[in-house]
Structure 1
Amino acid sequence: TATTESDSITTTESDTTTTESDTTTTESDSITTTESDTITTESDSTTTTTE
């Protein structure tokens, strides 16, 4: 009895390619210009001339 054994050792290794994307942090400077409208309330000077 001739025992012919075929060793089936197939080592197929796939190279892991690590493709890393550089995270570009684009930050927009939040410049909130809150300008308060100057409301000039002028009171009409009523000149009461008592004769």
Structure 2
Amino acid sequence: VSPMNLKKSLLLTNKYTSNPQYFGCAPPEVSILSRDHLVFLYDIGEGCFGKVYK
């Protein structure tokens, strides 16, 4: 018995065991900081995506 419904290409939840390792430890949302809450002390280098600040 396959855990997948081939007609609809959906996994059938009653046919497989969930794995708790798939869930991350981080909160589900990404925090958004406003620009006025950031303080750039000085630049410490440059990377592939631009300057890096402390």
- The alignment's TM-score, normalised by the length of structure 2, stands at 0.19
Larger relative contact order (CA 8 Å, sep ≥ 6): 2
Higher normalized helix content (fraction of residues): 2
Work out which of the two has the higher radius of gyration on C-alpha atoms and give 1 or 2: 1
- The alignment's TM-score, normalised by the length of structure 1, stands at 0.20
